[in-house]
Amino acid sequence: MSGPVTPTGVDHVAVNVLDVPGGIAFYTETMGLVQNHTRPDFGFPGAWLDTGSGQQVHLIEATVPQNVGQHFALVFDDLPAVVAELRARGLQVSDPVDVGTTGRKQAFTTDPWGNGIELHERPGN
């Protein structure tokens, strides 16, 4: 290798769920992702979901590891409104907090299988 390793972004994150159809329903109906039907047949159940910003969440039907802090973050423009809406939909969501002096805000929830989801707002929103 002749130069530094320099990623240009995150393409996707993969999340284990016990029930792919249930995962599709949760992530599309509750979290607002859109199912991408171009996923090839890998020989095991799964789904690809678009986040709306070029990245994806991949669902894999498999045992879900214990949550010890691992999570992925979805970006939203109006975090307080998102938190209020998700609470109205029955989710337990932490209160939004400022991330130090970065101008960022975050709150946390989990999917039905215990996977951590950060709800994130970037500065300027």
Asked, for residue 1, whether it belongs to a domain, the answer is: no
> What token pair was written down for 4?
């530094």
Nearest to 15, CA basis, from 120, 113, 82, 106: 113
pLDDT digits (tens, 9 = 90+) for 23-64: 999 999 999 999 999 999 999 999 999 998 889 999 999 999
Asked, for residue 7, whether it belongs to a domain, the answer is: no
Asked, for residue 79, whether it belongs to a domain, the answer is: yes
Asked, for residue 2, whether it belongs to a domain, the answer is: no
Domain region containing 51: 12-121
Asked, for residue 6, whether it belongs to a domain, the answer is: no
Residue pair 63/99 in contact (Cβ under 8 Å)? The answer is: no
Asked, for residue 95, whether it belongs to a domain, the answer is: yes
- What is the domain-level CATH number for residue 52? 3.10.180.10
Asked, for residue 19, whether it belongs to a domain, the answer is: yes
Q: How does DSSP assign 89-117, residue by residue?
A: TT---PPPEE-TTSS-EEEEEE-TT--EE
Kindly report the pTM of this predicted structure: 0.92
Total domain count for the chain? 1
pLDDT, mean of residues 8-14: 93
Asked, for residue 62, whether it belongs to a domain, the answer is: yes
pLDDT digits (tens, 9 = 90+) for 76-90: 999 999 999 999 999
